[in-house]
């Protein structure tokens, strides 16, 4: 057989065609009694319905957790989760935390040192000393 095909799998490029939001679930835990949950309860009553309507792709679960500080838990498509404690926070600050979870990719935070990260080949190829206009010195 002169040529054989090598079986591989295509790699996803999220956002090139369709964009899949990486946050798939947000769990809101609150306490009815404790004062540290006051902001959280107010957020759940007033701001959360609008957030849920604006982001239908996120599954939202609200459940009480008595005698504990309020917590927001985000579950991501890559299987990781991020948990933020929002004790004593005002609803305005909680909105920021929820947005942070929504926009996160779920990966661990990394420092990016290179300006561009790409799986595409370089347009001008990899430099080689044996190509291009070789000048005689």
Partner 1 sequence: MKRLQLQRWSGSVLSAQARTGGRLQQRLYYAIRHQSTASPAAPAGNDQLVKKQPQAPSISSPHSQKSRYRLPSPPVEAARESAKLAALHARLYLPSRLPLETLARSLVHPSADPNPNFNNESLATLGHDLLTYYASEHLICSYPRLPLTVIFAAMYAYVGPKTLAAMAREWGVESVAAPGGEVDPGYLQFQRLAPGTDVNPETITGTERPHDDEPTWRKSVTSRVVYDNEYGDPVKGPVDPSELAERDAQTSQGVTVEEANASFVSAVMGSIYLHAGRPAAKRFFEQHFLSRHLNISDLFNFSQPARDLARLCARENFEAPVARIVSETGRKSRSPVFVVGIYSGQDKLGEGAGASLLEAHFRAAVAALKGWYLYNPLDVRVPSSMEEEGAAPWKPVHVDLGEVIV
Partner 2 sequence: MASCLVASKRPLLALPFFLSSPCESVVLDLRRNQSSYRRTTQRLRVKPDASFGSSLIHTQEDHIIHNPPSSAPSVYLTPSKFLPSNDVRKNLRTAPANSNNSEELPPVVRAPSEKKYHLTPSDIREIRRLRATDPMTWSRLKLAKRFECSPMFISLVCETSPQKKEIQKRVLEAVQSRWGSKRRMAREDRQLRREAWGRDQ
Between 109 and 137, CB nearer to partner 2? 137
Dihedral of alpha carbons 104, 108, 109, 111, sign: negative
Between 5 and 115, CB nearer to partner 1? 5
Residue 126 contacts which entry, partner 2, partner 1, none (Cβ below 5-8 A, type-dependent)? partner 2
The answer to whether residues 33 and 69 touch, using CB atoms and an 8 Å cutoff, is: no
Alpha carbon distance 68, 119 (integer Å): 45
Between 35 and 125, CB nearer to partner 2? 125
Residue 25 contacts which entry, partner 1, partner 2, none (Cβ below 5-8 A, type-dependent)? partner 1
Quote the least distance from Cβ 90 to partner 2, whole Å: 56
Residues with Cβ within 8 Å of residue 36, at least 6 apart in sequence: 69, 70, 87, 88
Quote the least distance from Cβ 55 to partner 2, whole Å: 40
């Amino acid at each position: 057989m002169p040529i054989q095909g090598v079986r591989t799998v295509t790699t996803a490029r999220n956002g090139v065609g369709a964009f899949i939001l990486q946050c798939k679930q947000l769990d809101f835990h609150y306490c009815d009694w404790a004062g540290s949950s006051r902001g959280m309860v107010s957020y759940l009553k007033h701001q959360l319905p609008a957030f849920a309507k604006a982001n239908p792709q996120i599954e939202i679960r609200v459940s009480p957790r008595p005698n504990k500080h309020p917590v927001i838990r985000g579950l991501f498509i890559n299987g990781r989760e991020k948990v933020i404690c929002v004790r004593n926070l005002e609803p305005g600050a909680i909105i920021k935390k929820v947005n942070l979870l929504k926009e996160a990719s779920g990966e661990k935070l990394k420092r990016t040192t290179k300006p561009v990260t790409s799986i595409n080949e370089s347009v001008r190829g990899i430099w080689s000393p044996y190509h291009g206009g070789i000048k005689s010195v």
